[in-house]
Structure 1
Amino acid sequence: MSTLDPPFSDHLQEDELTPDQNGDFISSLPTAGFLSQYRGFWITTRSMQGVLSLQKHFQAQETDIQMMTPPKVGTTWLKAILFAIVNRKHNLDLQKHPLLTNNPHILVPYLDLHFYNQKEVPDLTFFPSPRLFSAHLPYTLLPTSVKHSTCKIVHLYRNPKDTFVSLWHFLKNNGRTTDSFEGTFDEFCQGVSSFGPYWDHVLNYWKESLEKPQKILCLRYEELKEQPSTHLKKIAEFLECPFSSEEETKGMINDILRLCSFDYLNKLEVNKSGTTHNMKTESLFRLGEVGDWVNYLTPQMSKKLDDIFKEKFHGTGLTCYILFACLYYCQYLC
C-alpha cells in the first residue's frame, strides 16, 4: 500500500487535479489486486479515472434517471426493465424493440466507464430526456449535482450470499482475479470487493431513501423476482410515468416482463457473444436464481456472512430480511 505524495496531500484537493495529474493520484492509492481504495470504498482501478472525472464534471438534469447498484445484484436485468418502462411509448412494436439487438449495458450505459474514463469531458447534451444512466457508485461518491438535483435514483440490492457467488463467477470468467474461492470470500467479508464494502453500499442508499423517498427507490432483487408485476408498477410510478389503465388492459406490463425476463434475454444472440464495457457478454447472464449460494458456501461461510450482516444491519430495518433469507434456505436444504 502506498501513501499520497506531498504535492497531492499537502497542496491539492481532488477537485483541483488536472486530467494529467489524475494518473499520479490514482497510482498513489492503496491497492488490492484489481482494486484501489478511495474514500472508504474499493473501486476497480480501471474505473478510477472515470469516477474522478464524473464527480468533477457531471451535471445532472432534473429529469435524469440514475441507476445505482452494487455489482452482481441483477444490474443487467434491471437495466432492461428500466429502459423498457421509460421508453415504452416509443417502442410499441416489441418485435422491433432495441433490447432485441442491443445489450442492456449499451442502452443504459455506465457513466464512469463509457463516458468519463477519458481525459476529455464528454458532451451528453444529445441524450433525449429523460436521460437514463448507470454506475456502481456508492451514494457518498455521487457527483454533487446528482445529490442536489431532483433526478431519480433507482437502487437494487440482493442477498449478500448470492451477490458474492455471482461476483466470484464474474471475476473468474473475466480474468479479474487469481485468488481462490475461499480467498475471495475472505476479502468480501473484509469489505474488499468491487465498489464495496457491500454492506456500506447498501446501507448508504437505504438510509438516504428513508429521508428522500421521492428521490431514491431501493428494490430487493428477491422481491422483484417474486412479484415482478407489482414492482414494475411501483417503478413506473416512482419514475412518474405510471402505466395507464389502457396499458394494463392491453397487457403492457406482462409484455415488458416477458421481453426482459432472464430466460428471454439470455437466448438473444446479442447477449451470447462478444464484449461490452470490457466484460464478456455471456458472463452477464449466468443463472439469475435466488438461493444459488447453497451450492457454493459451506455452513461456516454462511454463518460468517450472517454474523457480519446482523451486526452491520442491526437497527436499520434490513436485518430481518437477511435473517429471513437465511432461515428460508436452511429449511430448503433440510
Structure 2
Amino acid sequence: MKLPHMSPTKKDVDKFMDSVRNFNSRATDVIICSAMKSGTHWVHEIVSMLLHQTTEYNSHGELNDCNFECQTDWDRLEQWNSPRFFHTHLPLKYLPRKHVENEYKIIYLNRNPKDRAVSNFHFMQKKGVPVGSWKEFFDNFVLIDSLYGGWFSFTKEFEKAASQKRNNILPVTFEKLTTATIPTLRELATFLDVSADDKFIHDIADKCSFANMKNNKTDVASTINSSKTVIWRKGIIGDWKNLFTVAQNEKFDQMYEQKMKGCDVKFTYNV
C-alpha cells in the first residue's frame, strides 16, 4: 500500500494497516471513506454537526484524531463516547474487519477524477511535495495511479458494494453535494438516523458553504505538518479544464474507459 508523501503513518505501513484492520469498531461508528481531494473535510464537518446536533465547527484536535491516517494512539479512541466518526482514504478491503463484517455505517465519498487530480496537484504542490509541473504530475501521478492502491480500484470496489444495495453504505459525490446541497444533507441525516428539521438542515448548509468553511480558522491544515491553510482552494466543478490539455484529456478518457469496464458509475464534469 503506497501512502502519500506527507502521511505520518508512512514510516511503518504494515503496522498502520494492522492497527486499522484490528480496530475495535462499534455498531454506532460511522466511517467516511473518500478518494483524496473529494470533499472529505467538508463532509466531516457536516457529519459532525448532524451527529452532535449543532452548527458549531469541530475543534482542530478532533478533526486530526478522526483521521485514521493521522492516528498515533489507537487505544485512546476507546475512551471516546459514541457515536464516533472517522475518515480515511483507504479502500473498502482495508477498513476495520469488525466494521465491514458487521455492516456498520460507511459514507462513501467520491468526485470526478479530473477535478480530483487538479485539486490534488495544487494541494501537493502547496505542501511542498516534489510533484513538478502539471505535465510531470499528470504523467507520474494521474496516469500512474498508485496512492492508496489507486483511484480506479477504490472506486470500483465501493461502487460494487453500493450496487448490492447495502443499507450500511451511502454513496455521496462532491458534485451532488455542490449542486443539490439540501437534498444531500437530508439523505445524510436519514442515513445517520438523526433529527434534522428544515431550519437545521439549512443552517448546516449555510455554515458548511465553501466560503464559510474556507474562512473557518479551525482548519485541519496543520494535521499534515503545516501552519498554512491549503485544504480549501476553489471548490468548483469543472476546474480540470484549466489544466488538462486536449491530448491529456483524450489520454485520460482512454485510460478511464479501459480501467472502468464493468463499472457504470457516472460523474459530473461540467455544470
User: Does the TM-score normalized on the shorter chain lie above 0.5?
Assistant: yes
Pair 1:299 & 2:236 matched: no
Aligned mate of 1:288, from 235, 254, 257: 235
Aligned mate of 1:114, from 64, 71, 77: 71
Aligned mate of 2:202, from 232, 246, 254: 254
Secondary structure at the counterpart of residue 263 of structure 1: helix
Pair 1:162 & 2:127 matched: no
Asked if the contact 1:187–1:193 (Cα under 8 Å) also holds between the matched residues in 2, the reply is no
1:16 maps to what in 2?
Answer: none
Task: State how far apart, in whole Å, the 2-side matches of 1:226 and 1:254 are.
Answer: 14
C-alpha displacement at 1:112, in angstroms?
A: 3.2
C-alpha displacement at 1:175, in angstroms?
A: 1.6
Unpaired segments ≥5 residues, structure 1:
1-28, 37-42, 330-334
Task: State how far apart, in whole Å, the 1-side matches of 2:9 and 2:124 are.
Answer: 12
1:157 and 1:33, CA in 2 relative to 1: closer, same or farther beyond 3 A?
A: closer
C-alpha displacement at 1:261, in angstroms?
A: 1.1
1:4 maps to what in 2?
Answer: none
Report the AA paired with residue 192 of structure 2: L
Asked if the contact 1:33–1:177 (Cα under 8 Å) also holds between the matched residues in 2, the reply is no
Task: State how far apart, in whole Å, the 2-side matches of 1:180 and 1:47 are.
Answer: 29
Task: State how far apart, in whole Å, the 1-side matches of 2:142 and 2:5 are.
Answer: 17
Asked if the contact 2:34–2:89 (Cα under 8 Å) also holds between the matched residues in 1, the reply is yes
Pair 1:276 & 2:223 matched: yes
1:124 and 1:32, CA in 2 relative to 1: closer, same or farther beyond 3 A?
A: closer
Task: State how far apart, in whole Å, the 2-side matches of 1:115 and 1:51 are.
Answer: 9
Asked if the contact 2:3–2:147 (Cα under 8 Å) also holds between the matched residues in 1, the reply is no
Aligned mate of 2:212, from 250, 264, 268: 264
C-alpha displacement at 1:108, in angstroms?
A: 6.5
TM-score scaled by structure 2? 0.88
1:173 maps to what in 2?
Answer: 126
Task: State how far apart, in whole Å, the 1-side matches of 2:69 and 2:50 are.
Answer: 23
Give the number of the structure with larger relative contact order, counting CA–CA contacts within 8 Å between residues 6 or more apart: 2
Pair 1:153 & 2:89 matched: no
C-alpha displacement at 1:255, in angstroms?
A: 0.2
C-alpha displacement at 1:278, in angstroms?
A: 2.3
TM-score scaled by structure 1? 0.73
Find runs of 4+ consecutive structure 1 residues off by over 6 angstroms: none
C-alpha displacement at 1:128, in angstroms?
A: 1.4
Q: Which has the greater radius of gyration?
A: 1
C-alpha displacement at 1:134, in angstroms?
A: 1.1
Asked if the contact 1:70–1:196 (Cα under 8 Å) also holds between the matched residues in 2, the reply is no
Pair 1:67 & 2:32 matched: yes
Pair 1:315 & 2:268 matched: no
Aligned mate of 2:156, from 203, 208, 229: 203
Unpaired segments ≥5 residues, structure 2:
none
% of aligned pairs identical? 25
Asked if the contact 1:71–1:194 (Cα under 8 Å) also holds between the matched residues in 2, the reply is no
Task: State how far apart, in whole Å, the 1-side matches of 2:239 and 2:146 are.
Answer: 19
| Equivalent pairs, count | 271
**What RMSD, in angstroms, separates the aligned Cα atoms of the two structures?**
2.8
